[in-house]
Amino acid sequence: MSSSFTRALCGTVVAALLPLTAMSPLSAAEEPSADAPVEVDGLTPTEVADEVERTGNPVVAILDDGDDLTIKTYDADDADEARDVAEKLEKNDDLVALDVDQRVRGADSEVKILGDHAGSGAENWKQYALDRTGARTAFNIGTRSVKVAVVDTGVDAAHPDLAGRVLNGAEFLDRNTGHRGRVDDHGHGTHVAGIVGALHNNAGVDGFATHVQILPVKVLDKQNLGWTSDFAQGIIWAANNGAQLINVSLTSTGRDAAVLAAVRHARRKGALVIAAAGNDGAGAPVSYPAAHPETISVASTNQSDYWANFSSVRGDVDIAAPGQDIISLWPNQRVAVLSGTSMAAPAVTGAIASLMSTGITANQAYSALVASAKDIAGGRMGLSFGTDPYTGIGRIDVAAATKPVVSFLGSVGRTYTAGTTARMQVRVSHLGRPLANRAVTIRTSTGRTANVRTGANGQAAFNVPLLRGTTIEARTAGIAARRTTFARVQPHARVKLKKYKASSQRKYRKVRLTIARPARQKVVVQVKNGRRWKTVKNARLGATTRAKTYSWKVNARSSKKRYVRVKIYAGGGLVSRTITVKG
Q: Name residues whose C-beta falls within 8 Å of residue 543's C-beta, 6 or more positions apart in sequence.
A: 518, 519, 520, 572
CA distance 201 to 87: 57
Contacts of 81 (CB under 8 A, 6+ apart): none
User: 207, 196 in Cβ contact below 8 A?
Assistant: yes
Single-letter residue type at 279? N
The identity of residue 241, as a single letter, is N
Which runs of consecutive H residues, i.e. helices, occur in 155-286?
188-197, 228-240, 257-268
Q: What is the pLDDT of residues 34-74, one digit of tens each?
A: 667 788 999 999 999 999 999 999 999 999 988 889 999 99
Residue with more model confidence, 431 or 386: 431
Whether the predicted pLDDT of 383 surpasses 90:
no
pLDDT per residue over 534-546, tens digit each?
Answer: 898 999 999 988 8
pLDDT digits (tens, 9 = 90+) for 288-311: 999 999 999 999 999 999 889 899
Please name the residues in contact with 331: beta carbons below 8 A apart, sequence gap of 6 or more. Answer: 156, 159, 184, 185, 187, 190
* First-residue to last-residue Cα distance in the chain: 17
The answer to whether the beta carbons of residues 87 and 76 sit under 8 Å apart is: no
pLDDT in tens, 313-326: 876 899 999 999 99
pLDDT for 557 equals 57
Whether 388 is catalytic: no
68-98 exposure pattern, b = at least 16 Cβ within 10 A, e = fewer: ebbbebbebeebeebbebbeebeeeeeebbb
| Interior/surface letters 236-274, b for 16+ CB within 10 angstroms, e for the rest | bbbbebebbbbbbbbbbeeebbbbbbbbbbbbbbbbbbb
Query: Which listed residue (117, 159, 186, 188) is catalytic?
Result: 188
Question: Which of the 8 DSSP states describes residue 519?
Answer: B
221 is catalytic: no
Helix or strand or coil: residue 177?
coil
* DSSP states along 97-166: EEEE--EEEE-----EEEEEPPSSSGGGGG-HHHHHHTGGGGTTS----EEEEEEES---TT-GGGTTTB
Q: What is the Cα–Cα distance from 186 to 207, expressed in whole angstroms?
A: 20
Q: Tens digits of per-residue pLDDT, 233-290?
A: 999 999 999 999 999 999 887 778 999 999 999 999 999 999 999 998 877 889 999 9
- Give the model's confidence band at 187: pLDDT under 50 very low, under 70 low, under 90 confident, else very high: very high
Same CATH topology for 104-398 and 491-582: the answer is no
pLDDT for position 386: 62
Q: Average of pLDDT values for 117-127?
A: 55
Cα angle value 522/528/532 (rounded, 5°): 95
Cis? peptide before 289, omega within 30° of 0 = yes
Q: Do residues 239 and 176 make contact, with C-beta atoms less than 8 angstroms apart?
A: no
Domain 104-398 has CATH 3.40.50.200: yes
Instruction: Please state which of the four CATH numbers 3.40.50.300, 3.40.50.170, 2.60.40.1930, 3.30.465.10 is assigned to the domain occupying 3-26+404-487.
Output: 2.60.40.1930
**What's the rounded mean pLDDT across residues 30-35?**
56
Amino acid at 375: D
Distances (CA, A) of 165 to 169, 207, 210, 273: 12, 12, 10, 20
| Residue 264 DSSP one-character state | H
Catalytic residue among 229, 342, 354, 407: 342
Q: What is the residue type of 321?
A: A
User: From the candidates 152, 230, 256, 318, which is the catalytic residue?
Assistant: 152
Mean pLDDT over each residue of the chain, to the nearest integer: 86
Choose the CATH number for 491-582 among 2.60.40.10, 3.30.310.50, 2.60.40.640, 3.40.718.10.
Answer: 2.60.40.10
User: Residue 152 catalytic?
Assistant: yes
Identity of the residue numbered 12 = T
C-beta of residue 48 within 8 angstroms of C-beta of residue 83 = yes
Domain segments of the chain as ranges: 3-26+404-487, 45-101, 104-398, 491-582
Q: How confident is the model at residue 26 (pLDDT cuts 50, 70, 90)?
A: very low
Q: Give the percent of the chain with pLDDT over 90.
A: 59
Confidence category of residue 232, pLDDT binned at 50, 70, 90: very high
